[in-house]
Amino acid sequence: MVAIDRQGLNFAAERVEWPMRASLILAVMMVAAPSALAGVLQCKVEGYRNDVFITTSPDTNQNDGHYARIGVSRGIGDRAIVIVDRTGAQTFIELNIDDTPIGLWTLQKDMRLVVSNHSIDPSGGVFAPSQYTGVCTRLR
């Protein structure tokens, strides 16, 4: 039997070996990680006329539940795959309607943003690359 104290840091175990404790810690981290990402970011990006919203599950207005959204309204916009770096930076790979990656949005821990955009033509060539910087604030 495993018990977790109020802070969730100390384990008291009866006949529980280390591998089982490690599995429990990993399971708790996997459940807690998505909720740390959940929310809405409002970003001001140089060269963009409007603010951009990055919305992560479960706050999107879509029912796919697997993708963040990048757009000019909360919860609505292009789909994005979220990757969290071991340093705490978050990267959003923006996808167009046919799942072609069209942008890379990297949010640093200090809320500074780097946006790299490009287009891919039907033959697979990359054209119109651009890069902008900005800053985001967490709305919730």
Element (H, E) at 56: strand 52-56
Instruction: List the one residue out of 111, 109, 89 whose CA is nearest residue 45.
Output: 111
Instruction: List the one residue out of 118, 114, 104 whose CA is nearest residue 136.
Output: 114
Q: What is the mean pLDDT of residues 15-28?
A: 43
User: Is 14's pLDDT higher than 50?
Assistant: no
More confident position, 100 or 58: 100
| Per-residue confidence (pLDDT) for residue 60, from 0 to 100 | 57
Q: Give one word for 77, left, alpha or beta, with left for phi > 0 and alpha for psi -120 to 50.
A: left
| Per-residue confidence (pLDDT) for residue 59, from 0 to 100 | 56
- Residue 23 tokens read as 């599995």
R_g (Cα) of the chain, nearest Å: 19
User: Is 32's pLDDT higher than 90?
Assistant: no
| Per-residue confidence (pLDDT) for residue 100, from 0 to 100 | 86
Q: What is the mean pLDDT of residues 32-58?
A: 79
| Per-residue confidence (pLDDT) for residue 92, from 0 to 100 | 95
Q: What is the mean pLDDT of residues 73-84?
A: 90
Report residue 117's pLDDT band, with 50, 70 and 90 as the boundaries: very high
Q: What is the mean pLDDT of residues 48-62?
A: 80
Q: What is the mean pLDDT of residues 77-81?
A: 92
| Per-residue confidence (pLDDT) for residue 8, from 0 to 100 | 46
Of 62-66, 69-73, 80-84, the range with the lowest mean pLDDT is 62-66
User: What is the pTM assigned to this prediction?
Assistant: 0.68
